[in-house]
Structure 1
Amino acid sequence: MSAASELPGIAPAPALPSGVIHPRWLRLTHWLNALAVLIMVTSGWRIYNASPLYDFRFPDAITLGGWLAGALNWHFAAMWLLVGNGLLYLLLNLASGRLFRRFFPLSPRGVLHDGLAALRGRLPHGDLRHYNQVQKAAYLFVMLDLLVLVLSGLVLWKSVQFATLRELLGGYETARHVHFVSMALLVAFVAVHLAMVALVPRTLLAMLRGR
């Protein structure tokens, strides 16, 4: 019996064509999310430069928007793409049962075991349909991190309208720090993700063509 089938209320995995690893809807929402994140991060760096929190600025060459108003326009446009596409991704994962099949069960001991195996280069990648415990934890983390980014971003965008949310985050200035740290964690995830793709190129091919 598979681990997913032991979880109550989890539907059996829908049949995919032979050899298919990622369904088309997953690949489409994945790449749209990647595009939205790229635009939001690079335009966000330009916005940050206009009123930096810390004693540094991002080089203009890696920012988007040209100036503050242009960066804000890019940021808000990508925000709607990220929220809309992110919700679609989450709903399809929930409706298909994929969220629970792919990311659970998950345990601290399992994450530690697979993390140590990865550091020793002994983590198998033969079957891309199954995520190891480190992958499960990382993907769930980035989902939560994106949620924090969106919520803190709402406070920065409409502080008066989202007064309750602003107070829950500790005030406007604290929300700025939360937003920045969440962005930094997202960029760190992307960097590690790209490094893993470079080590296992089959994962990129599977996300491009589904096999």
Structure 2
Amino acid sequence: MSTTILNEPAPTTAAIAEPRAILQPVWVRVMHWINAAAMLAMILSGWQIYNAAPLFDFQFTRALTLGGWLGGGLLWHFAAMWVLVINGVLYVILGFATGRFRRKLWPITLSGITSDVSQAIRLRLSHDDLSRYNTVQKLLYVGVLIVGVLSVASGLAIWKPVQFHSLTALLGGYDTARYVHFGAMSAIVAFSAIHILLAALVPKALRAMIIGR
């Protein structure tokens, strides 16, 4: 009795390939989207509050405000503030504790900034390796973290100028603190616009922030 030996086909490269590495861990993804929602609510409600006492000779259109009136804007602003602050503090703690900040945001060198800015201007800055940030990205992320702290500090000075009188004085007084807060908000909006533009240009980065891979 003859025995027929069936030769199984060798597994393809795709079949034996290891799963793609996790680029964005779960805690980063969850906190990123919580932060995005809270920041959007704070910006839109902040514009509603601004319209009640403008600093400059313009107002934001009602279509881009949240709250409907000053009191509603304040309620939304304070609610989103607590979410943003708690989420932000936890993010910073985990960023240092897990070593993510050290791996992703360090080092930042002058030569690296010069080189990457030059390539970015010429639209030659590569985004192929999503596991690492280029120097421009590092600088933007560190900058927005600093601006975030400044935004919270100036917000506290405006909210409770008597209780936080030392902080208010450090920022140049109540009126100056309002300008500082507006400037910090403007910087965050500019960062968000660049962030969204890059996500549109590099969709795999957005996919990684959704599914991790």
TM-score normalised to the size of structure 1? 0.91
Query: Structure 1 residue 63 and structure 2 residue 62: aligned?
Result: no
Distance 1:107 1:30 in 2: 26
One-letter code aligned to 2:68: G
Please name the residue that 2:105 is paired with. Answer: 103
Distance 1:191 1:124 in 2: 20
Point out which structure has higher relative CO (alpha carbons under 8 A, 6+ apart).
1
Match of 2:198 among 190, 196, 199: 196
Distance 1:209 1:18 in 2: 11
Please name the residue that 1:153 is paired with. Answer: 155
Please name the residue that 1:74 is paired with. Answer: 76
Please name the residue that 1:127 is paired with. Answer: 129
Distance 1:201 1:112 in 2: 26
Distance 1:50 1:108 in 2: 43
Please name the residue that 1:34 is paired with. Answer: 36
SS at match of 1:198: helix
Match of 2:56 among 54, 57, 65: 54
RMSD: 0.9
Distance 1:207 1:26 in 2: 8
* Greater alpha carbon shift after TM alignment, 46-55 vs 189-198: 189-198
- Percent identical across equivalent pairs? 53
Residue 90 of structure 1, CA deviation: 0.3
Distance 1:118 1:170 in 2: 37
Please name the residue that 1:6 is paired with. Answer: none
Distance 1:68 1:190 in 2: 25
Query: Structure 1 residue 141 and structure 2 residue 143: aligned?
Result: yes
Please name the residue that 1:94 is paired with. Answer: 96
One-letter code aligned to 2:111: R
Distance 1:19 1:91 in 2: 24
SS at match of 1:57: coil
Residue 63 of structure 1, CA deviation: 0.3
Residue 109 of structure 1, CA deviation: 2.1
Residue 18 of structure 1, CA deviation: 4.7
Distance 1:158 1:192 in 2: 32
One-letter code aligned to 2:167: L
Distance 1:201 1:62 in 2: 26
Give unmatched runs, 5+ long, in structure 1. Answer: 1-16
SS at match of 1:121: coil
Please name the residue that 2:7 is paired with. Answer: none
Give unmatched runs, 5+ long, in structure 2. Answer: 1-18
* Greater alpha carbon shift after TM alignment, 162-171 vs 106-115: 106-115
Please name the residue that 2:210 is paired with. Answer: 208
Distance 2:20 2:198 in 1: 25
Distance 1:177 1:109 in 2: 33
Decide which structure has the larger Cα Rg and report it.
2
SS at match of 2:108: coil
